[in-house]
């Protein structure tokens, strides 16, 4: 293990680490502006240095830029947040304060997620206790080394403790839960349920980003347009390839609306080309044997179950395209296995969605139609409706939730002295006094 | 166009020959043409198989190696009804895999011809390991496991597969009203006394032998005194791994219980989908491929055959089944390739060692969703 990520073996180690983090979080203010400045430097340091092989690293570089995060901060916490201090609201003054120590339980399948998750709570001024899943230790270490290079005084690093331990160590999971004031929990059903059930103190705020599914959809006007077809196929391939199609925002099924255009062959040819090209550009470096088995089974089952079904795939488990029709949504296989379903009406597909669907990637010719589809999807529980090719662009809100605000307390201060009220109040009083003075010279004198 | 009589005719000499005499090249060329014809036959019998085979990235008709032929993952045999290349009226028996609780078992259908070849295949292989003589057969299981003529479980199929070596068959377990297996101690001791100097064949599932015979007798300090017993066992190690029972611990524990040498305890690998083929350990601890079958160990990243000493997913190949498409099957097991040829035991051809079932992926993360919120996936589908 490294000095950046500690393999912990006892609950006491976790409790001690949390205590130190809490002292830092409570004793030292961390202004969003200084966090943004350091993040900007971190982003710049993520070019090269071996981090380029980490899936999602290019996105992380963008995410950490001031241009990305400043608007998110302002939208979630108000425009005054960057200047620090209190903002006024009527008689009261408001200001965001950190919860204290935020525990992070990232999913085990997204290499950059430990960093994404902690970045959200650092922007709220919190300290972070992060359980790094065993498969992500190496990638997280590389990313954190870059932070260390740009944070020599440890302004952020002193607020971050990365730990790793086997997920089955219930005592360590419990120790983490008992010592945090907020928790950001990401992952699949089983993992999320297990973490939620841990003995958090009653004040701990939980932000849960549980398992979701994502789909893509195109209307005939788009998939049948020769001039644009290949670039759409490239965008689809990009969305499928990132995170090996195991992210909640990964498209599992692409719905193609027929719209009177019968022959899907040219589109499928170009989709195949795009998959091959993407595979060449981003070859898989490793795969779990059970995923290989699942991919082989998905190919065979698809073709055996219905003789009208078609499929194209590489001889390796690298990529798979399954073509069929109808609105029946097959169980996702992941691992770059995209099911393409021809449908008569995209609205019919959307009517079958529920809150399990997170993202709908769209390529629709008509803006009015797209708006109607987006509205229908949102009503059915979809939280993100984005352009194809941008399905993984991590942004706030995510899963319909803000990313920074859940981990801050917005403190309300109503001053005890009226004359210590807001500037607006003071202005109003002065104006009113002046007006009174104009009518009453004596009063004006006394003022 | 391949026809069944022609295929059967070509399988016959492979089954009749000594199972481990061909080198790898001879073996490959003997099987490749036959497997291609069996694929063509399967395509003619089943439109769905044809749909799969025709979509395979390499045209099997022009393939020059078995590794390029279209294989099926064993999971497809969980379908209902089972995949078949024969009419329902021709099915004489259905074999079902042992599945862990809550899982759907694999099922394969046999017609008379396939069933006959299955028996012959197992006999040919086992004979090479224990000799041709018939002997008293002690089954570490219940008689009920063998009952029923329609569908037979994996334990029953394995027991039946060795019946050709038996003069008489005795089962030494029964099940109580709750369904728990219990050792019939008196019957077993009587059997041991009767056959104490004889060559005896013993078979049971690995965990059944350990949990219901070895442990039960050890608790009472009983040794059976059957020094000439041959104990064959199969069925996986998962349940014993939980008890930290390794292969060596198992062999020595069983040998102590039977009063024989540990090298008389033979583990074999097999599965119902790979009918007629079992892979016993040779004295070097390796598993060998008989003339009528093949094993390809595939790298999980590329699905290409691995090099010597490497591990990967096991693909089993067999020319024996014609009632279901079980010629080329990718299993969910991991094995290591030991030799292409030249095992000191004298058996020629590919040798491998079973490692484990492919472990389930630990966490598939935020995209791992099994159920929909409002309605079940079955409803949404």
Q: Which CATH number belongs to the domain containing residue A37 in this structure?
A: 3.40.605.10
Residue (of B352, B357, B354) closest to B308 by Cα position? B352
Q: What's the number of domains chain B is made of?
A: 1
A127 shares a domain with A25 = yes
Q: Which residue has the tokens 């260390």?
A: A148
Q: How confident is the model at residue A435 (pLDDT cuts 50, 70, 90)?
A: low
Interface contacts (A, B; CB < 8 Å): 178
Residue A259 above 90 pLDDT? no
DSSP B82: P
Q: Is the CB of residue B244 less than 8 Å away from at least one CB of chain A?
A: no
DSSP A401: B
- Find out whether B181 and B213 touch, Cβ atoms under 8 Å: no
Task: Pull the structure tokens for residue A51.
Answer: 């981090």
Of B73, B304, B364, the CB nearest to A188: B364
- ipTM of this complex: 0.90
The per-residue pLDDT for A447 is 32
Whether B133 is in a domain gets the answer: yes
Closest CA–CA distance from residue B206 to any residue of chain A (Å): 24
Q: Is the CB of residue B378 less than 8 Å away from at least one CB of chain A?
A: no
Residue B374 above 50 pLDDT? no
A434 shares a domain with A406 = no
Q: Domain of A439?
A: 415-446
Residue A108 above 90 pLDDT? no
pLDDT tens digits along B144-183:
887 765 667 888 888 888 888 999 999 999 988 888 888 9
For residues B206-242, one letter each, b for 16 or more C-beta atoms within 10 angstroms of the residue's C-beta and e for the rest, the string is bbbbbbbbbebbeeeeeebebebbbbbbbbbbebbee
The per-residue pLDDT for A445 is 39
Q: Is the CB of residue B73 less than 8 Å away from at least one CB of chain A?
A: yes
CA distance B89 to A398: 57
The per-residue pLDDT for A170 is 95
A204 shares a domain with A138 = yes
Query: Which residues in chain B are closer than 8 Å to A354, comparing Cβ atoms?
Result: 372-375, 380
- Find out whether A363 and A267 touch, Cβ atoms under 8 Å: no
* 3-state secondary structure at position B325: coil
A52 shares a domain with A27 = yes
Whether A41 is in a domain gets the answer: yes
Residue B77 above 50 pLDDT? yes
A202 shares a domain with A217 = no
pLDDT tens digits along A11-66:
999 999 999 999 999 988 898 999 999 999 999 999 877 888 888 888 899 999 99
Task: Pull the structure tokens for residue A72.
Answer: 């998110």
Of A133, A249, A286, the CB nearest to B301: A286
Whether B10 is in a domain gets the answer: no
Whether A392 is in a domain gets the answer: no
The per-residue pLDDT for A427 is 63
pLDDT tens digits along B267-323:
999 888 999 999 999 999 999 999 999 999 999 999 999 999 999 999 999 999 999
Q: Roughly what angle, to the nearest 10 degrees, separates helices A113-123 and A137-150? A: 40
Mean pLDDT over residues B51-76, rounded? 96
Query: Which residues in chain B are closer than 8 Å to A314, comparing Cβ atoms?
Result: 57
Q: Domain of B250?
A: 117-269
DSSP A404: S
**CATH number for position B259:** 3.40.50
H or E stretch covering B285: none
**Is the backbone of residue A236 left (phi > 0), alpha (psi -120 to 50) or beta?**
alpha
> With pLDDT > 70 as the criterion, what percentage of chain A qualifies?
93
A261 shares a domain with A204 = no
For residues B6-44, one letter each, b for 16 or more C-beta atoms within 10 angstroms of the residue's C-beta and e for the rest, the string is ebeebbeebbeeebbebeeeebbebbbebbbbbbbbbbe
Whether A394 is in a domain gets the answer: no
| CA A392 and chain centroid, separation | 8
pLDDT tens digits along B248-267:
999 999 999 999 999 999 99
Q: How confident is the model at residue B377 (pLDDT cuts 50, 70, 90)?
A: very low
Residue B365 above 80 pLDDT? no
A184 shares a domain with A67 = yes
Q: How far apart are the first and last CA of chain A?
A: 71
Residue B97 above 80 pLDDT? yes
CA distance B35 to B28: 10
A19 shares a domain with A103 = yes
CA distance B354 to A368: 60
A265 shares a domain with A309 = yes
The per-residue pLDDT for B240 is 84
Phi, psi of B109 (to 5 degrees): -105, 140
CA distance A409 to A405: 8
Burial of B330 (0-12, 13-18, 19+ CB in 10 A): buried
How many CB atoms sit inside 10 A of residue A29's CB? Answer: 11
Tell me the residues of chain B between 314 and 333 that have a Cβ less than 8 Å away from chain A.
Answer: 330, 332
CA distance A296 to B302: 12
Whether A230 is in a domain gets the answer: yes
Residue A261 above 60 pLDDT? yes
CA distance A381 to A353: 7
Query: Which residues in chain B are closer than 8 Å to A384, comparing Cβ atoms?
Result: none
Of B49, B365, B370, the CB nearest to A107: B365
Whether B296 is in a domain gets the answer: no
The per-residue pLDDT for A439 is 54
- Chain A residue closest to B361 (CA)? A290
Q: List, as own/partner pairs, every contact residues A321-324 make where C-beta atoms lie below 8 angstroms and the sequence separation is at least 24, other chains included.
A: A321/A268, A321/A271, A321/A272, A321/A275, A322/A298, A323/A264, A323/A268
A316 shares a domain with A434 = no
| CA A112 and chain centroid, separation | 10
The per-residue pLDDT for B122 is 92
Whether A393 is in a domain gets the answer: no
Task: Pull the structure tokens for residue A84.
Answer: 């620090």
Q: For chain A, how many residues are written?
A: 447
CA distance B328 to B273: 10
Whether B288 is in a domain gets the answer: no
> With pLDDT > 70 as the criterion, what percentage of chain B qualifies?
92
A66 shares a domain with A150 = yes
Whether B236 is in a domain gets the answer: yes
Whether B224 is in a domain gets the answer: yes
The alpha carbon torsion through B272, B277, B283, B285 (nearest 10 deg) reads -50
How many CB atoms sit inside 10 A of residue B360's CB? Answer: 11
The per-residue pLDDT for A434 is 66
Mean pLDDT over residues B2-31, rounded? 90
CA distance B163 to B172: 16
- Beta-sheet pairing, A337-343 with A251-257: parallel
Q: What's the number of domains chain A is made of?
A: 3
Q: How confident is the model at residue B236 (pLDDT cuts 50, 70, 90)?
A: confident
A173 shares a domain with A273 = no
pLDDT tens digits along A197-244:
999 999 999 999 988 999 999 999 999 999 999 999 999 999 999 888
């Amino acid at each position: 293990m490294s000095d950046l990520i500690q393999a912990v073996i006892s609950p006491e180690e976790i409790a001690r680490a949390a205590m130190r983090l809490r002292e830092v979080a409570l004793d030292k203010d961390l202004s969003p502006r200084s966090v943004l400045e350091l993040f900007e430097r971190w982003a710049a340091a993520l070019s090269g240095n071996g981090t380029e092989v980490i899936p999602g690293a290019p996105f992380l570089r963008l995410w950490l830029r001031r241009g990305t995060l400043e608007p998110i901060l302002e939208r979630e916490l108000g425009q005054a947040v960057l200047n620090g201090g209190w903002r006024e609201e009527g008689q009261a003054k408001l200001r965001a304060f950190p919860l204290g120590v935020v525990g992070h339980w990232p999913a085990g399948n997204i290499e950059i997620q430990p960093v994404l998750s902690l970045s959200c709570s650092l922007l709220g001024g919190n300290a972070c206790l992060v359980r790094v899943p065993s498969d992500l230790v190496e990638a997280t270490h590389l990313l954190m080394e870059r932070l260390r290079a740009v944070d020599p005084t440890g302004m952020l690093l002193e607020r971050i403790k990365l730990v790793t331990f086997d997920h089955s160590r219930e005592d360590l999971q419990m120790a983490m839960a008992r010592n945090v004031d907020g928790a950001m929990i990401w992952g699949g059903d089983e993992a999320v349920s297990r973490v939620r059930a841990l003995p958090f103190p009653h004040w701990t705020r939980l932000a849960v980003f549980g398992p979701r599914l994502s789909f893509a959809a195109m209307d005939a006007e788009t998939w049948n347009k020769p001039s644009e077809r290949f670039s759409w196929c490239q965008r689809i391939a990009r969305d499928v390839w990132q995170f090996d199609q195991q992210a909640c925002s990964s498209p599992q099924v692409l719905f193609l609306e027929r719209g009177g255009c019968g022959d899907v062959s040219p589109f499928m040819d170009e989709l195949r080309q795009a998959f091959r090209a993407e595979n060449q550009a981003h070859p898989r470096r490793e795969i779990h044997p059970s995923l290989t088995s699942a991919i082989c089974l998905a190919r065979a089952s698809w073709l055996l179950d219905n003789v009208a079904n078609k499929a194209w795939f590489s001889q390796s488990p690298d990529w798979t395209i399954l073509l069929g029709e109808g609105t029946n949504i097959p169980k996702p296989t992941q691992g770059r296995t995209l099911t393409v379903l021809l449908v008569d009406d995209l609205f019919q597909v959307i009517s079958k969605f529920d809150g399990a669907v997170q993202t709908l990637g769209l390529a629709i010719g008509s803006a009015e139609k797209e708006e109607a589809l987006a509205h229908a999807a949102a009503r059915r529980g979809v939280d993100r409706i984005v352009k194809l090719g941008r399905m993984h662009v991590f942004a706030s809100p995510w899963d319909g939730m803000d990313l920074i605000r859940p981990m801050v307390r917005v403190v309300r201060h109503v001053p005890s002295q009226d004359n210590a009220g807001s500037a607006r109040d003071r202005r109003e009083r002065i104006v009113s006094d002046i007006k009174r003075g104009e009518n009453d010279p004596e009063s004006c004198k006394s003022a | 166009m391949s026809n069944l009589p022609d295929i059967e005719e070509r399988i016959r000499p492979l089954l009749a020959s000594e199972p481990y005499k061909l080198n790898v090249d001879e073996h490959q060329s003997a099987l490749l043409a036959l497997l291609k014809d069996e694929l063509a036959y399967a395509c003619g019998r089943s439109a769905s198989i044809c749909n799969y085979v025709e979509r395979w990235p390499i045209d099997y008709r022009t393939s020059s190696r078995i590794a390029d032929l279209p294989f099926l993952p064993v999971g497809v045999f969980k379908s209902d009804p089972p995949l078949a290349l024969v009419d329902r009226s021709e099915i004489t028996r259905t074999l079902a895999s042992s599945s862990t609780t809550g899982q759907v078992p694999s099922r394969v259908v046999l017609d008379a011809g396939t069933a006959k070849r299955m028996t012959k295949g197992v006999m040919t292989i086992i004979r090479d390991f224990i000799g041709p003589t018939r002997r008293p057969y002690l089954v570490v299981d219940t008689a009920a496991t063998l009952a029923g003529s329609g569908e037979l479980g994996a334990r029953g199929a394995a027991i039946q597969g060795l019946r050709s070596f038996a003069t008489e068959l005795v089962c030494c377990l029964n099940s109580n009203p709750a369904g728990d297996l219990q050792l019939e101690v008196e019957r077993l001791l009587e059997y041991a006394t009767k056959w104490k100097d004889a060559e005896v064949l013993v078979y049971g599932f690995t965990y059944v032998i350990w949990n219901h015979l070895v442990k039960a007798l050890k608790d009472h300090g009983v040794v059976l005194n059957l020094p000439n017993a041959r104990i064959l066992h199969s069925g996986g190690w998962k349940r014993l791994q939980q008890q930290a029972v390794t292969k060596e611990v198992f062999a020595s524990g069983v040998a102590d219980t039977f009063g024989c040498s540990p090298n008389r305890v033979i583990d074999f690998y097999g599965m119902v989908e790979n009918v007629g083929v079992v892979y016993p350990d040779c004295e070097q601890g390796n598993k060998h491929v008989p003339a009528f079958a093949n094993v390809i160990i595939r790298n999980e990243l590329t699905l290409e055959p691995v090099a010597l000493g490497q591990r990967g997913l096991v693909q089993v190949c067999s020319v024996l089944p014609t009632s279901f498409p079980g010629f080329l099957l990718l299993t969910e097991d991991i094995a290591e390739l030991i030799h292409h040829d030249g095992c000191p035991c004298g058996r020629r051809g590919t040798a491998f060692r079973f490692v484990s079932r492919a472990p389930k992926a630990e966490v598939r993360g935020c995209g791992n969703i099994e159920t929909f919120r409002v309605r079940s996936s079955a409803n949404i589908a």
